[in-house]
């Protein structure tokens, strides 16, 4: 079913008159139009018994149409009160909403107050759960974009490995990676590219800088690209020169933990059990205290979405879910290691989207 129709059906089933969707990721999901409107109003309005519309900054109206939106697009200029234009479009449809579904997790107070002023008798209800449930399961068209995004991320890691050399800084390597990605037609990375070396690998969210790479360092790449609106997210940790015994032990532990979790992916497995599969390997090897985050996160239009793969999430995996598997060990005195793949739950198991080798790569 068309995504917009699915929202309309949901409104009908639940007796909700209108839905007002404003987060850029959900606007893209429902309309095909991807944009960051900053503080300007960009929304998809969906009705139980009337035609939907998009309201967008006037300069972006042609882009909304070019993105494939077939319904009405209403533009507003910077000198307009966009909410009056919304009110008129709703009134033109002979709709007087008594109930309105919004994204409660994201809608800000100012916007809520404007809607509540326009429709003082309306009850507000959350659309978050429905949209999350829809976005949780990817269709074939979405999977094709995710596959391509992952393939480009694999290539980005390959470029990073090729660039490693004594005395080069983390930022110099990062620059080479992103330069190559631009040549491949990637306009955005999914998040700030991470290239960390030596002791800096022990920080899961470290910042690349001007540290010069030396023999004996582990180098950690964590990066992803956006391809036609869909994100990839890969981590590989490689060795510059021969690793010490301790570095190798940490690497092989993470390698086994990651593989165990990937191999356990199939419909019906609980997210929490998948987390435990990896965590048990790390704990049994004596590094449990250094694995300080969840196993993974859903991946799609957002680089972090549902399902969350953590130790208290009882949700069962379903065919079509896409998420990361990314155990790590962050040992402050030795090194940090993380290995991250993007995986799809298939009818009877798993498809791994990221394919860069996971056996320890020794460079130089």
Which of 60, 163, 180, 222 is the binder for Mn ion (CB under 5 A)?
222
Decide whether 107 or 271 has the Cβ nearer to Mn ion: 271
Stretch that binds Mn ion, among 52-60, 86-94, 132-140, 339-347 (CB under 5 A): 339-347
Decide whether 259 or 308 has the Cβ nearer to Mn ion: 308
Minimum distance of Mn ion from residue 36's CB (angstroms): 21
Count other C-beta atoms under 10 Å from residue 167's C-beta: 8
Concatenate the DSSP letters of all residues of 285-299 into one string: TT-GGG--S-SEEE-
Decide whether 180 or 222 has the Cβ nearer to Mn ion: 222
* Binding letters toward Mn ion, positions 302-331, x by CB under 5 A: ----------------------x-------
Residues 6+ apart with CB under 8 A from 45: 18, 19, 20, 21, 52, 53, 54, 55, 86, 89, 90
DSSP summary character for residue 154: H
Decide whether 212 or 304 has the Cβ nearer to Mn ion: 304
Q: Decide: residue 335, CB within 10 A, 0-12 exposed, 13-18 middle, 19+ buried.
A: buried
Stretch that binds Mn ion, among 169-177, 214-222, 240-248, 286-294 (CB under 5 A): 214-222
Which of 233, 275, 305, 341 is the binder for Mn ion (CB under 5 A)?
233
Minimum distance of Mn ion from residue 194's CB (angstroms): 7
Residues 6+ apart with CB under 8 A from 3: 29, 30, 134
CA separation for the pair 216, 143 (Å, rounded): 38
Residues of this chain, 235-264, that bind Mn ion according to CB under 5 A: 235
CA separation for the pair 354, 254 (Å, rounded): 17
Q: Compute how many residues bind Mn ion; rule: CB under 5 A.
A: 5
140-161 burial string, b = 16+ CB within 10 Å, else e? eebbebbbbbbbbbbbbbbbbb
Decide whether 60 or 340 has the Cβ nearer to Mn ion: 340
Number of alpha carbons in the 13 Å side-chain half-sphere of residue 145: 15
Continuous segment of H or E residues that includes residue 267: none
Give yes or no for residue 341 binding Mn ion (CB under 5 A).
no
CA separation for the pair 293, 301 (Å, rounded): 22
CB 9 within 8 A of CB 34: no
Minimum distance of Mn ion from residue 340's CB (angstroms): 5
Stretch that binds Mn ion, among 57-65, 175-183, 228-236, 353-361 (CB under 5 A): 228-236
Minimum distance of Mn ion from residue 296's CB (angstroms): 7
Decide whether 19 or 329 has the Cβ nearer to Mn ion: 329
CB 99 within 8 A of CB 123: yes
Stretch that binds Mn ion, among 13-21, 174-182, 216-224, 341-349 (CB under 5 A): 216-224
Decide whether 90 or 299 has the Cβ nearer to Mn ion: 299
Decide whether 23 or 235 has the Cβ nearer to Mn ion: 235
Binding site residues, Mn ion, CB under 5 A:
222, 233, 235, 324, 340
């Amino acid at each position: 079913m068309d995504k917009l129709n699915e929202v309309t059906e949901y409104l009908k089933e639940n007796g909700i008159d209108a839905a007002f969707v404003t987060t850029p990721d959900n606007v893209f999901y429902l309309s095909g139009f991807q944009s960051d409107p900053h503080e300007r109003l960009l929304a998809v309005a969906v009705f139980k018994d009337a035609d939907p519309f998009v309201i967008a900054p006037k300069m972006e109206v042609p882009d909304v149409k070019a993105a494939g939106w077939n319904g009405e697009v209403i533009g507003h200029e910077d000198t307009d009160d966009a909410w009056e234009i919304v009110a008129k479009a709703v009134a033109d449809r002979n709709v007087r909403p008594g109930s309105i579904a919004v994204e409660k997790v994201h809608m800000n107070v100012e916007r809520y107050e404007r809607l509540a002023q326009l429709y003082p008798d309306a009850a507000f209800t959350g659309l978050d759960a429905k949209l999350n449930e829809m976005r949780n399961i990817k269709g074939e068209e979405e999977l094709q974009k995710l596959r391509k995004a992952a393939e480009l991320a694999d290539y980005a890691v390959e470029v990073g490995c090729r660039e490693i050399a004594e005395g080069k800084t983390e930022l110099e390597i990062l620059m080479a990676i992103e330069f190559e990605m631009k040549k491949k037609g990637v306009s955005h990375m999914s998040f700030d590219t991470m290239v960390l070396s030596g002791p800096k690998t022990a920080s899961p969210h470290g910042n690349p800088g001007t540290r010069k790479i030396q023999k004996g360092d582990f180098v950690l790449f964590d990066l992803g690209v956006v391809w036609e609106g869909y994100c990839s997210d890969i981590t590989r940790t490689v060795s510059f020169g021969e690793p010490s015994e301790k570095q190798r032990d940490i690497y092989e532990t993470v390698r086994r933990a990651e593989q165990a979790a990937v191999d356990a992916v199939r419909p019906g497995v609980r997210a929490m059990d998948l987390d435990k599969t990896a965590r048990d390997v790390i704990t049994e090897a004596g590094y449990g205290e250094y694995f300080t985050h969840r196993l993974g996160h859903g991946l799609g239009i957002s680089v972090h979405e549902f399902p969350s793969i953590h130790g208290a999430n009882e949700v069962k995996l379903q065919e079509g879910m896409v998420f990361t598997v990314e155990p790590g060990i962050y040992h402050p005195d030795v090194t940090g290691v993380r290995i991250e793949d993007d995986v799809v739950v298939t009818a009877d198991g798993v498809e791994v989207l990221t394919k860069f080798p996971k056996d320890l790569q020794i460079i130089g």
